[in-house]
Amino acid sequence: MNEILKLLVQRVALGLLLLLLVSVLVFVGTEILPGDVAQSILGQAATPTSLANLREELGLNDPAPVRYLNWLGGVLTGDLGTALSNGQDITTQIGLRLGNTMFLAFWAAVVAVPLAILLGLLAVRFRNRWPDKLISGVTLASISLPEFFIGYVLIYFFAVKFRWFPSVATVYDSMSLGQKLNAIALPVTVLTMVVLAHMMRMTRAAILNVMQSAYIETAELKGLSQFTVIFRHAFPNAIAPIVNVVMLNLAYLVVGVVVVEVIFVYPGMGQYLVDHVAKRDVPVVQACGVIFAAVYIGLNLIADIVAILTNPRLRHPK
């Protein structure tokens, strides 16, 4: 048990180190590249004096490492600074939006994960026959489709032609859960389709891998039905790789959510990030970038930990 605990602590520490390095990278990405923040706020017509004043106010005259440490200190104490474009407090703004984004991603995961596992099992049961081929074909197509294509096709038919769902996904606190779910039905569908293909394909591969073991052959020779073999013998042994697949794909939701929020004008983190990239509002972009990266690294870390817990062979690295 101690061994496992030690390994887990190591992984978490590694994850935190990675996150720290990522914060350096995000900071360097916005600070050292050519492009002066003061200049981009004030525009080309700025006088040298006003430029100098603004640089002073934003602390741009300090050397980069000092500014990084100041910023990092703020991030660690929950102070993400103020937005350049409208002077709002970034922490408050993100507090309002992060919950919305999590709500959207949560429901997408609730729909996508069981569906992907079910389809994966079906594909294995009928492998190399038409259900498997159909599922692989749809998978190939959905990997190639951009999110906005799926999104606008759904809006065109289900919001405009049939009027079943709203085309703009607005949620407020006063809405009931049912109303909220109706509002986010279309964005959740898009996100589901985006991650479903990968998740299903990898589930199929994970189970097929287990199917080649000797004990599966034994089960088949005993005369068990295909479904019993898959559910009772193959599936339990494929759980670890499947959980891994699910986590990695949930991490992919982080990217999908940015585009989907813009398509459906959803008040979440993605929309907030994109709006402020266009306004060249660096503090907001840095804050959002670090948060997105933290979620992404966190999910990958969970995938790692689950893999270690469920697969004893990984506990003794060479």
Partner 1 sequence: MRIPISALLGLVLTGGFFLMALFAPLIAPYGLSEVVGDVWESRSAEHWLGTDNIGRDLLSRMIYGGRTTILIATLATILSFTLGSFLGFTAAVIGGWIDQVMSRFVDLLMSIPSLIFALVVLSVMPVNITVLILVMGILDSTRVYRLSRAVAADINVQDFVEAAKLRGENRTWIIFREILPNALSPLVAELGLRFIFAVLFLSTLSFLGLGVQPPASDWGGMVKENKEGIVFGIGAALVPAAAIAALAISVNLVADWVLNRTSDLKGGRGG
Name the residues that contact partner 1, by CB under 8 A: 18, 21-22, 25-26, 29-31, 33-35, 37, 40, 140-141, 143-149, 152-153, 155-156, 159-161, 167, 251-252, 254-255, 258-259, 262-263, 273-274, 276-278, 280-282, 285-286, 288-289, 292-293, 296-297, 300
Rounded to a whole number of angstroms, the minimum distance from the CB of residue 237 to partner 1 is: 26
DSSP letter, residue 80: -
Rounded to a whole number of angstroms, the minimum distance from the CB of residue 142 to partner 1 is: 10
Rounded to a whole number of angstroms, the minimum distance from the CB of residue 160 to partner 1 is: 5
Question: Tokens 């013998």 map to which residue?
Answer: 233
User: By C-beta, is 80 or 282 nearer to partner 1?
Assistant: 282
89 by DSSP, 3-state: which? strand
User: By C-beta, is 126 or 252 nearer to partner 1?
Assistant: 252
Rounded to a whole number of angstroms, the minimum distance from the CB of residue 192 to partner 1 is: 18
Rounded to a whole number of angstroms, the minimum distance from the CB of residue 180 to partner 1 is: 21
Q: Of the candidates 114, 157, 125, 122, which has an alpha carbon nearest to the alpha carbon of residue 138?
A: 122
Q: Of the candidates 191, 22, 176, which has an alpha carbon nearest to the alpha carbon of residue 116?
A: 191
54 to 28, 46, 89: CA distances (angstroms): 20, 10, 18
User: By C-beta, is 4 or 140 nearer to partner 1?
Assistant: 140
What are the E-state strand segments in the chain? none
**Continuous segment of H or E residues that includes residue 94:** helix 90-125
**Continuous segment of H or E residues that includes residue 260:** helix 235-263
- Burial (0-12, 13-18, 19+ Cβ within 10 Å), 148: middle
Please count the helices (runs of H) and the strands (runs of E) in the chain: 13, 0
User: By C-beta, is 103 or 296 nearer to partner 1?
Assistant: 296
- Burial (0-12, 13-18, 19+ Cβ within 10 Å), 33: exposed
Structural tokens at position 231 = 């559910």
Rounded to a whole number of angstroms, the minimum distance from the CB of residue 256 to partner 1 is: 9
DSSP letter, residue 313: G
Rounded to a whole number of angstroms, the minimum distance from the CB of residue 224 to partner 1 is: 32
Q: Measure the CA–CA gap between 199 and 295, rounded to whole angstroms.
A: 19
Q: Measure the CA–CA gap between 185 and 180, rounded to whole angstroms.
A: 9
Rounded to a whole number of angstroms, the minimum distance from the CB of residue 42 to partner 1 is: 15
CB 158 within 8 A of CB 190: no
